[in-house]
């Protein structure tokens, strides 16, 4: 099944019959030569018609999602978000103006709509066309909108250029968002990002403000000498989650000096090599 | 006691205000679209303003645990630029059906010109076709006649008075508004219009049926704590508690609740998606523990500086 078919199926089985019929009627209009007004009216009305319950998904649904679109993760989507994205997908097949319409919709969107539009990024046609849109979402001051792009979304990992990617990771730390829901964190780590994050840690230390243990996840793999000195400082003086994070970063680092550092704290070394401590286990909840 | 401020222009207010309002027990606000103190010159600035109200401002309020709703419309002052007003009328349908839009508003008369009349009527028709409530701004000058005319025209267009809030009432207008079955809102301004002392007397005389208060705070001298402060004064002056609750919370909820877009559950029991996405654990719902017993304290301006 396609992502649109899955969204349709999930909504149909969960919503009462009159609502399901309303969805079908909108999809019929939107998939055959729709006008822009029909799209924005349908999308605006979604929260009034569908409500805001969570979409009920079981493990097999999530598996189907991943099969329909690589790494697609609809866990935590609500029915209004699913409905809005379904309508966008229905119209995208029938218009060559999709990108323009999406831009216009974003311009006049309420906060719930923005979250839905950005969560839908990995499902829209012509993925590379939406890079600037994704970067705009990352620039948002609304944490919910930022996280709609950054969290549980394969689009940034696949499409964002390195500069935009690095800004996204740094901004997540800056606004207090967790890193672990970002897809592709390890594979897209890079020396520039490593440098930016270490600088950021120094800024926080200078202001005697706490540093998220997750920061070190994107440091280990590319750690240079200065970064290793930072990791040693964390090992020596950090809180327990910070020290665990430093140990995790050190086993990621190919430099033999990293393993030497780690061997000085055998109990942490055992914990990370035995996977008793992982990036997920040290992450803040949420 | 909980409060709703059903008319306040939060885009013009600071985060200090949000903090003080939340601390004083304000759980929800309604922000009607209005003018910015000087006239806009293009439709694009209206689009950005309306998008701000439904987007950024809603998020900003949520950070303080306050639910933000709005009314969407073309205000009477700017209706006088007819060429621009026509373009604004064309973009309103993009906003009216959105989540949390409780009414068409604030609309009505300012100078009571022909242009104002034209766009007031056009928006009454919009409200009918979108099955929406109406929030009416009554004029500051020639108030009594303007208020009567606002109601006459609404009735002429077949709008049910029970779905219209007539705002900025005073002692001269309230009786007719209530007699005709409209909702009567009172703006508590520090220096002009209604002060809280006068409001106490109105509550004493007319009771709490179909009446509620708001602050209409904006970029001018105004008090975002006007609703809780008025409640406090009413209680001190012996107005029954049930009446105070109705005037400062329940009636606004009843009036605008007819839209289906504002419900007590929104702040007492928010949907899981809103808790995850809009209200992040720490600062928010914790500040909103129901305050059953006493009036919350009216906080002073917060004097605390944090470097970001």
CA of B131, closest CA in chain A: separation in Å?
13
* Residue A146 maps to a domain: yes
Say how many C-beta atoms besides its own lie within 10 A of residue B27's C-beta: 23
Distance CA B77, CA A170 (A): 45
Find chain B residues with C-beta within 8 A of A178's C-beta.
none
A199 near B CB under 8 A: no
Find chain B residues with C-beta within 8 A of A142's C-beta.
55-56, 59
Cα angle vertex A48, ends A46, A52, to 5°?
75
Q: Which residues pair with B188 in a beta bridge?
A: B194
pLDDT at B192: 55
A37 near B CB under 8 A: yes
Exposed e or buried b for every residue in A214-228, given b needs 16+ CB within 10 A?
A: bbbbbbbbbbeeebb
Is the domain of A152 the same as that of A241? no
Is the domain of A16 the same as that of A80? yes
Residue extents of the structural domains in chain B: 3-284
Which CATH fold would you assign to the domain B3-284? TIM Barrel (3.20.20)
Among A54, A113, A144, select the one facing B278 at the smallest CB separation. A144
Is the domain of A22 the same as that of A76? yes
| Domain endpoint, select from A160, A181, A204 | A160
Nearest CA in chain A to B98: A44
Is the domain of A9 the same as that of A102? yes
* Residue A185 maps to a domain: no
* Residue A224 maps to a domain: yes
Task: Give alpha helix (H) positions in chain B.
Answer: 15-23, 43-54, 56-63, 82-95, 114-129, 143-156, 174-179, 196-206, 226-236, 241-245, 251-257, 265-268, 272-277
Structure tokens that stand for B29 in this block:
């606000």
Is the domain of A132 the same as that of A197? no
Instruction: Evaluate if residue B290 carries a pLDDT over 80.
Output: no
A147 near B CB under 8 A: yes
Stretches where chain A sits below pLDDT 70 are 285-286
A177 near B CB under 8 A: no
| Domain endpoint, select from A108, A141, A160 | A160
Is the domain of A62 the same as that of A198? no
Verify whether the Cβ–Cβ distance A48 to B276 is below 8 Å.
Answer: no
- Is the whole model's pTM more than 0.95, yes or no? no
Is the domain of A218 the same as that of A152? no
Q: Which position has the token pair 């885009």?
A: B11
- Residue A117's domain comprises 3-160
Distance CA B167, CA B214 (A): 9
pLDDT at A252: 94
pLDDT at B119: 98
Test mutation, A77, A112, A200, A208, chain B, max B CBs within 10 A: A112
The pLDDT tens digits for A63-95 are 999 999 999 999 999 999 999 999 999 999 887
Is the domain of A138 the same as that of A259? no
Find chain A residues with C-beta within 8 A of B276's C-beta.
76
Domains in chain A, number:
2
The pLDDT tens digits for A88-128 are 999 998 878 899 999 999 999 999 999 999 999 999 999 99
Whether B54 contacts B34, CB under 8 Å: no
* Residue A165 maps to a domain: no
Q: Which position has the token pair 């493990």?
A: A59
Structure tokens that stand for B150 in this block:
């606002």
* Residue A111 maps to a domain: yes
Verify whether the Cβ–Cβ distance B55 to A40 is below 8 Å.
Answer: no
Is the domain of A41 the same as that of A155? yes
* Residue A207 maps to a domain: yes
Sign for the CA dihedral angle at A66, A70, A74, A75 comes to positive
Q: What is the ipTM of this complex?
A: 0.87
* Residue A220 maps to a domain: yes
């Amino acid at each position: 099944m396609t992502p649109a078919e899955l969204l349709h199926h999930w909504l149909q089985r969960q919503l009462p019959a009159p609502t399901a019929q309303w969805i079908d009627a909108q999809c019929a209009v939107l998939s055959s030569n729709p006008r822009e007004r029909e799209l924005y009216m349908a999308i605006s009305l979604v929260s009034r018609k569908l409500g805001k319950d969570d979409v009920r998904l079981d493990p097999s649904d999530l598996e189907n999602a991943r099969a329909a679109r690589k790494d697609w993760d609809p866990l935590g989507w609500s029915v209004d978000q699913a409905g809005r994205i379904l309508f966008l997908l229905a119209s995208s097949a029938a218009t060559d103006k999709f990108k323009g319409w999406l831009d216009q919709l974003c311009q006049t969107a309420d906060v719930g709509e923005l979250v839905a539009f950005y969560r839908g990024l990995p499902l829209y046609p012509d993925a590379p066309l939406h890079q600037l849109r994704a970067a705009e979402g990352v620039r948002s001051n609304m944490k919910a909108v930022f996280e709609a792009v950054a969290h549980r979304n394969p689009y940034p990992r696949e499409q964002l250029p390195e500069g935009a990617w690095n800004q996204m990771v740094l901004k997540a730390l800056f606004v207090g968002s967790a890193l672990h829901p970002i897809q592709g964190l390890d594979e897209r780590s890079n020396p520039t990002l490593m440098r930016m994050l270490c600088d950021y840690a120094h800024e926080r230390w200078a202001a005697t403000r706490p540093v998220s243990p997750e920061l070190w996840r994107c440091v280990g793999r590319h750690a240079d000498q200065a970064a290793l000195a930072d990791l040693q400082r964390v090992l020596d003086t950090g809180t327990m989650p910070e020290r665990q994070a430093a140990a995790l970063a050190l086993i990621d680092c190919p430099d033999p000096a990293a393993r030497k550092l780690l061997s000085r704290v055998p109990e942490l070394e055992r914990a990370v090599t035995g996977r008793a401590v992982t990036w997920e286990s040290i992450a803040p909840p949420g | 006691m909980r409060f709703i401020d059903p008319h306040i222009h939060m885009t013009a207010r600071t985060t200090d205000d949000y903090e003080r309002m939340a601390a004083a027990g304000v759980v929800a606000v309604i922000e009607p679209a209005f003018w910015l103190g000087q006239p806009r010159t293009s439709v694009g600035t209206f689009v950005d303003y309306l998008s701000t109200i439904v987007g950024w401002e809603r998020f900003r309020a949520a950070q303080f645990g306050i639910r933000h709703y709005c009314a969407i419309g073309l205000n009477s002052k700017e209706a006088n630029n007819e060429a621009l007003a026509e373009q604004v009328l064309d973009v309103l349908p993009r906003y009216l059906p959105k989540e949390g839009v409780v009414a068409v508003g604030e609309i009505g008369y300012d100078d009571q010109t022909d242009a104002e009349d034209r766009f007031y009527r056009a928006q009454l028709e919009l409200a009918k076709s979108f099955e929406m409530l109406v929030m009416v701004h009554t004029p500051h000058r020639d108030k009594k006649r303007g208020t009567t005319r606002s109601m006459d025209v609404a009735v002429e267009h077949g709008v049910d008075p029970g779905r219209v809030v007539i705002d900025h009432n005073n002692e001269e207008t309230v009786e007719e508004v209530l007699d005709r079955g409209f909702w009567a809102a009172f703006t508590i301004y520090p220096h002009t219009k209604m002060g809280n002392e006068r409001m106490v007397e109105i509550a004493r005389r007319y009771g709490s049926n179909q009446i509620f208060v708001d602050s209409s705070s904006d970029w001018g001298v105004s008090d975002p704590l006007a609703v809780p402060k008025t409640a406090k004064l009413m209680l001190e002056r012996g107005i029954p508690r049930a009446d105070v609750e109705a005037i400062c919370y329940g009636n606004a909820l009843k009036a605008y609740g007819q839209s289906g877009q504002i419900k007590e559950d929104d702040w007492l029991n928010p949907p899981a998606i809103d808790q995850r996405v809009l209200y992040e654990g720490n600062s928010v719902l914790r500040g909103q523990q129901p305050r059953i017993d006493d009036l919350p304290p009216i906080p002073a301006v917060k004097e605390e500086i944090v470097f970001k």
